[in-house]
Amino acid sequence: MTFPNELTDFEGGWSLSRTIRDARAGQVVLADGSARFTRSKDSLIYDETVTLRIPGQPEMMGTRRYLWHDKGESVAVHFDDGRYFHALKLGQAQAADHHNCPPDSYDAVYDFSGWPCWRVRWTVSGPRKSYEMNTEYMLR
């Protein structure tokens, strides 16, 4: 099996498909779009553009940006303002991490077993949030 072993393995364009199962709102939100990883010194800039489909609402566009920093055998993911978000270990089928954002809790599991297709599942819980977000990436 092949897994991503270094940050540059992510460089380039990806198609993405996302399902958000929101237990609190009792609905499923769908999104699809693209992500691009662009080199910036020892980091990659992750830019995402999606079309969100929320039941009962018109389609809307969404964007997000993260900074993926090379840490050797792992990647440190930061928000676009530089704050630390989480990390993932490379060279293996799965990587998991936790992000605490009181009062809510975020748990990520990255799945690279189908590389170069890969998935990430976020399970979010707390007094304000209760959802599972699954995103699948496919190399363009």
State residue 42's pLDDT score: 84
| pLDDT tens digits for range 7-25 | 999 999 999 999 999 999 9
- Cβ atoms of residues 14 and 34 within 8 Å: yes
State residue 132's pLDDT score: 98
State residue 1's pLDDT score: 75
- Cβ atoms of residues 26 and 6 within 8 Å: no
| Domains of the chain (ranges, CATH numbers) | 7-139 (2.40.128.20)
Residue 127 predicted with pLDDT over 80: yes
The residue count of the chain comes to 140
User: What's this model's pTM, rounded to 2 decimal places?
Assistant: 0.95
